[in-house]
Structure 1
Amino acid sequence: MTERTFSYLTDQLRSHAALHPDRTALFIDGRPDLLYGEWDRRSEALARGLLAAGGVRRGDRIGIFFGDMDWADYATTYLGALKAGAAVVHLPVRLPDEDLERRARQSGMTGIVHGRIPPPKTSAVAWARHLDELSVAGDAPVDLVHRPDDDAEVVYSSGTTGQARGVVVPHQNLATAGGPPSVMAHDEPTPMVASVNLGITASATTVSMVLNATPTTLVLAPPGDADRMGALIEHHAASTVMMTPHLAVQMIREGVLDRYDLSSVTTVATASAFLHPPLARALLAAMGRASVIGAYSASQAKPAVTIGTFDPARPMSVGRPARGTHVLITDEHGAELPHGLVGRIWLRADGTPPRVRMDADPEASGVPAGGWCDTGDLGHTDEDGELYLFDRESDAVRTSGGLVSSLRVESVLFEHPAVADVAVVGTAESEVAAAVVPARGATRDPELLLAALVAHAKDSLEPHETPGSVRVVDELPRNDLGKVVKRLIRSRFTAAARPSAPAAGPGTYTSAPHPTGAP
């Protein structure tokens, strides 16, 4: 059997820098801030400093702490720490002090490299130093050789359903198989435009994606600034756009899709959350040449992923497994379910050892053997291998009429012109409830809005799926990934107690097939 070789992120940066040293890697909110050659040199300088002054040894956990639009220093530090053999712990600057302390102790963090914004003081790490203070000039490259199973980084889940969990990712999971890239395109690729917060899984993935691809220019828009996103797409005539579903909501709400020329776009890539079909259709209407591509994964399953192109005939599909990815659907006891039955979604990648959840219970029940990673989601497959997302397991609403997909209900409500944004949750009384951000000029009276939505949904939703209450809000609570934090919404619904039929019990998500063509 031939041993697989890998092209690690550090190898890819060196190759890109050798072939295209003067090509812009990162274009940050209107400024060409980092060339490939400069990126390689600066990361080498940090690696030398970490190994010398920092005393870093292979496998040490090093936190990197950067915020605002400090992408050049973030990317430099990420690759410099990897070149020194450290495992990078990505830290968002908005992380509460107590969470930073917890992550530092949990991961065994040795030190923190930071930029303009210093981290909170913590006794959990031995040192915290500025990138420039640690960097050491020199000509000789750091010659550390990675092993496939060396720890590369620690990423944390989004924390929408509770405390974020840390996952250790080895180098082979960030690499491309087949060895160092020997042939790179020499034409100037069309820039990609993205809007991502720093210090989270998405920012790490963005850097990895740039290095795993033909060297291109990544144009970074300020997170949450839909208008700036539109302006940068038009200015650069970008062909590829990367956005969260929440940014799609903002671009629609603020009229960005109509205000800018987005006709150059051929690919809209979305991740981090489910893109509701009405949002996908709105993007396609504004970008006539584009395809909407979605990636479905989980932090703990990296690099396992399913990839799909939005198809109006299969709106709840999240695509098929990428090469080397496997999907398993089980009941709550870990037994595999046949196609068409909704159950727990598990992912696994070829050649990947079981991910290590730092605070996981090793005796947890219902875990199938074979290194499968629990996504925390429910869904089903069809006979063609297509994966359909039903809901986050903790967000599905157990009603007396059966299990309800909050995603499906939201997709129907999004189609109403009075709805600019919406999140559906279950109440303590097992009733479907909706938090709605009204569109500009729409009624803000909850009773009138509820009546309109119920009338709108009567032909698309079953009675037990239809919202029984509406709360009007200015914005939905979201985390740095743009994901709605539904546990905060649930706490805001204080429906009066009333007699109700018993809620569906555990395991009922395996009781019936789910229609693949439902909106």
Structure 2
Amino acid sequence: MDIDIRLWGDLSRTLARQYGAKAAFVDVDGNSLSFEGFDKRVNRLNHALASHGCVKGERVAILAKNCTAYVETYGLAKSGMVVVPLNWRLAPEELASLLAHSQPAVVIADEQHAALIDSLRTELAFTRLFIIIGAARQGWAAYEEVLAQGSEQEPQPSSPLHPDDAICLMYTSGTTGTPKGVALSHRGILGNARVSAQQVLQLKPADRALAVMPFFHVGGMWYYLHASYSAGCTSVILPGFDPEAVLARIPRDAITHVHLVPTMISALLASPALAQADLSSLRLIFYAASSIPVVLLKQAMKAFAHCGFLQSYGATETGMLTVLNEADHLVALEAGKSHLLASCGRVLPENELLIVDDSGQCLVQGQGGEIAARGAYMMLGYWGNPQATAAALRDGVFHTGDMGHVDDEGYVYLVDRKQDMVVTGGENVYPSEVEQVLYQHPAVAQVAVFGIPDPVWVEKVVAAVVFKDGQALSEPALIAYAKQHLAAYKCPKRVFIEQQLPTSAVGKIVKKTLRQKFSVPEEAPHASS
């Protein structure tokens, strides 16, 4: 990426000149959009919305599955408009809350989600224009017809743009609380895309990306798809993840790299189509957004032996913080350092990572505490929430809520979310440690460990488990297995056998849902006489 690029529009114009007719994006039906064509369509969208009175700083919300139009909406940054991507898995009342918070002047939706927006119309008095990605209908203007109203000439924002202007509001998942709108800037987005493309993924223009992560997620859009775009790669966009579709598109489109989360990797390994799939073009699997069980990672590295693996850790608020690169993965397998596979790598040069105690004081190397970070491409803050911003960003240091430590070689190890730690009988138990053990049992496909209220222990450790097809195990047998490897206080007191575990749209297991489901109050036992 050109070091003189300071605004999103600079990047789009530069790539249009540099790569011209080369395909920037290919949709699920095989239709391609060139770098030059993409820039022109972005210009049209900016002009069209300006004709409806949209100015710098106004929000444009989008509720849709992955598609090229989705990517184009981010180009409204040329006029200083702020894009608000919405999670299509949220309930109507949850979406209404986010819309009320962001108050978009424009709402864009695909045909699959237009009815959901219609059900909320009475609560959207602040929205002036509704655009559907598809055919026009009552109350909706067709996306392509709106674009046709705009000019291909470079748009002029209503007031000057600055690298620290907001480009989007990315709402946090809300798995541990109320979602917050993370305001990200041109400087932050472009900086993180550059770091991802050059230092992490090491992309070249000849590379071809497969985009299956949802675009409302910061990892799916800005730190993967946008990184690939900024490197001049061609990106193939799928509406969502389907293991058979992924395995078919890799050879069809000569895909060289893909971003997956652990649940997606697990689904690929379980797919009958894997054995026949031609994956020779694939050189890199980038996994992020969720920690991965070491057992699953080893299985994947064996199944995709010709392919490199790479992990990054970060947050919506911070961007990428660490990287466990391909060489680290190989050393872990070949040099007897398998413990590295439990690491999320070393800190990237642009960042400083600290381990702090509850008072915010730095701990010595090796001690466990909360991970805090300082970097060049941090969020601007939480939109309309100065109190939450002040609580998370203290003296320029963001407190992640993740617990971990750094070893003497500089490798960072995540232990768990601070909110997920279980305090049982006065002892701290990190669920990830218990999960790693249970994942080693050959019958276990998925597991989530969490705490629920207990009248004696205050909290007790429990597990929800999904077994592999055709395999099963009794609750006592799995608890006994855990006791072979863990201290008794760390072992689950109960195991709930499930057909599936609740996951977020990016494949993270939602422990909050499990805690709510299984937190049934119990009476304290009577004291014995």
TM-score (norm 2): 0.83
Distance 2:177 2:37 in 1: 40
- Whether contact under 8 Å (1:192, 1:238) holds in the other structure is yes
Distance 1:8 1:72 in 2: 21
Give the alignment partner of residue 390 of structure 1, picking from 415, 432, 443.
415
C-alpha distance in structure 2 between counterparts of 1:341 and 1:364, whole Å = 26
Do the aligned partners of 1:320 and 1:385 also contact (CA within 8 Å) in 2?
Answer: yes
Report deviation, 1:286: 1.0
Mapped contact 1:109–1:124 kept (Cα < 8 A): no
| Structure 2 residue 277 is the aligned partner of structure 1 residue 281 | no
Does the CA contact (< 8 Å) of 1:327 and 1:345 recur in 2? Answer: yes
Cα pair 2:214 2:221 within 8 Å, conserved: no
Residues 192, 320 of structure 2: 8 Å contact kept: no
Distance 1:211 1:433, change over 3 A: same
1:211 is the counterpart of 2:236: no
- Of the candidates 292, 305, 325, which is equivalent to residue 309 of structure 2? 292
Q: 1:328 to 1:340 in 2, by over 3 A?
A: same
Is the Cα–Cα contact under 8 Å of residues 90 and 201 in structure 1 kept in the other structure? no
Q: Which of the residues 70, 86, 103 maps onto 1:74?
A: 70
Secondary structure of residue in 2 paired with 1:281? helix
Equivalent residue for 1:138?
151
Q: 2:351 aligns with which of 309, 320, 325?
A: 325
1:224: Cα distance to partner?
3.4
Partners in 2 of 1:26 and 1:198 — Cα distance? 14
Between Structure 1 and Structure 2, the one with more helix by share is 2
Whole-angstrom CA distance in 2 between matches of 1:91 and 1:428 = 33
* 1:191-210 correspondence to structure 2 within 5 Å: 191-205=208-222, 206-210=224-228
Q: Contact (CA 8 Å) 1:264, 1:289: kept in 2 or not?
A: no
Aligned residue in 2 for 1:359: 385
Question: Contact between 2:203 and 2:228, CA under 8 Å: does it hold in 1?
Answer: no
Aligned equivalents of 2:239, 2:181: Cα separation in 1? 26
Pair 1:282–1:237, CA change in 2 (3 A) = farther
Match of 1:503 in 2: none
| One-letter code aligned to 2:59 | R
Counterpart secondary structure, 1:313: helix
- Cα offset, 1:207, TM superposition: 3.6
Give the whole-Å Cα distance in 2 for the aligned partners of 1:487 and 1:399. 18
User: Corresponding residue for 2:507?
Assistant: 482
Q: Distance in 2 between matches of 1:177 and 1:202?
A: 10
AA aligned opposite 1:58: K
Match of 2:154, SS?
coil
Contact between 1:65 and 1:114, CA under 8 Å: does it hold in 2? yes
TM-score (norm 1): 0.85
Aligned to 2:42: 43
- Residue 517 (structure 1) aligns with: none
- Return the alpha-carbon distance in structure 1 between the equivalents of residues 386 and 408 of structure 2: 33
In the TM superposition, 1:116-135 aligns within 5 A as 116=111, 117-118=113-114, 119-120=117-118, 121=121, 122-130=123-131, 131-135=143-147
Match of 2:400 in 1: 375
Greater shift, 217-226 or 482-491, is seen at: 217-226
Match of 1:63 in 2: 61
User: Matches of 2:390 and 2:476 in 1, distance apart?
Assistant: 44
Question: Shift of residue 307 of structure 1?
Answer: 1.4
Shift of 1:187: 8.4
Higher relative contact order structure (alpha carbons within 8 Å, sequence separation ≥ 6): 1
The 8 Å contact of residues 209 and 228 in structure 2, kept in 1 or not, is answered as no
Give me the whole-angstrom Cα distance separating, in 2, the residues matched to 1:408 and 1:251: 25
In 2, the alpha carbon distance for the partners of 1:28 and 1:177 equals: 25
Q: Kindly provide the amino acid, as one letter, of the partner of residue 163 in structure 1.
A: T
d(CA) in 1 for partners of 2:365, 2:453 = 32
| Cα-to-partner distance string for 1:328-353 (whole Å, 9 max, x where unaligned) | 22111211111222211122212657
Corresponding residue SS for 1:423: strand
Contact 1:335 1:368 in 2 (8 A): no
| Number of residue-to-residue matches in the alignment | 482
Partner Cα separation in structure 1 for residue 374 and residue 366 of structure 2? 20
Offset of 1:436 from its aligned partner? 0.9
Alpha carbons of 1:362 and 1:288: their partners in 2 closer, same or farther (altered >3 Å)?
A: closer
Structure 1: runs of 5+ lacking an equivalent: 501-519
1:125-155 deviation per Cα after TM superposition (whole angstroms, max 9, x unaligned): 2313323343234342124463111111111
Gaps of 5+ in 2: 132-142, 333-337
Contact 1:6 1:148 in 2 (8 A): no
The amino acid across from 1:307 in the alignment is V
Residue-by-residue CA offset, 1:248-289 (whole Å, 9 max, x unaligned)? 122223345434233433211112111221121111101112
Partner secondary structure for residue 342 of structure 2: coil
Secondary structure of residue in 1 paired with 2:175: coil
Distance of 1:351 and 1:467 partners within structure 2: 40
Say which SS state the counterpart of residue 164 (structure 1) adopts.
Answer: coil
Query: Which residue does the alignment assign to 2:7?
Result: 8
Q: Which amino acid aligns with 2:228?
A: V
Deviations 1:390-437 (A, max 9, x none): 001111221237222211221221221211111111121222211111
Moved more, 224-233 or 151-160: 224-233
Instruction: Provide the C-alpha distance between the structure 2 equivalents of 1:321 and 1:14, rounded to a whole number of angstroms.
Output: 32
Report SS of the residue matched to 2:317: helix
For 1:513, the equivalent position in structure 2 comes to: none
CA displacement 1:192-229 (0-9 Å, x = unmatched): 2231224333443244222332x112123342311211
Deviation at 1:489, TM superposition (A): 0.9
- Identical positions, percent: 27
CA RMSD in angstroms, aligned pairs only = 2.9
Give distance in 2, aligned partners of 1:434 and 1:27.
Answer: 42
**SS of residue in 2 equivalent to 1:174:** helix
Taking a change above 3 Å as real, the CA distance of residues 212 and 176 of structure 1, as seen in their structure-2 partners, is farther
Amino acid at match of 2:71: A
Q: Secondary structure at the match of 1:408?
A: helix
CA distance in 1, matches of 2:37, 2:483: 59
Structure-to-structure mapping, 1:116-195, within 5 angstroms:
116=111, 117-118=113-114, 119-120=117-118, 121=121, 122-130=123-131, 131-135=143-147, 136-144=149-157, 146-176=161-191, 189-195=206-212
Mapped contact 1:263–1:287 kept (Cα < 8 A): no
Query: Does residue 467 of the first structure (1) align with residue 492 of the second (2)?
Result: yes
Whether the 8 Å CA contact 1:307–1:320 is kept in 2: the answer is yes
Q: Aligned ranges for residues 216-231 of structure 1 at < 5 Å?
A: 216-231=233-248
Q: Alpha carbons of 1:124 and 1:270: their partners in 2 closer, same or farther (altered >3 Å)?
A: farther
Once the two structures are TM-superposed, the CA of residue 478 in structure 1 deviates from its matched residue by: 1.0
Match for residue 113 of structure 1?
108
2:92 to 88, 91, 97: 97
Of the three residues 406, 412, 431, the one matched with 2:460 is 431
Q: CA deviation at 1:113?
A: 3.1
- Give 1:390-409 correspondences, 5 Å limit: 390-400=415-425, 402-409=427-434
Does residue 306 in structure 1 map to residue 319 in structure 2? no
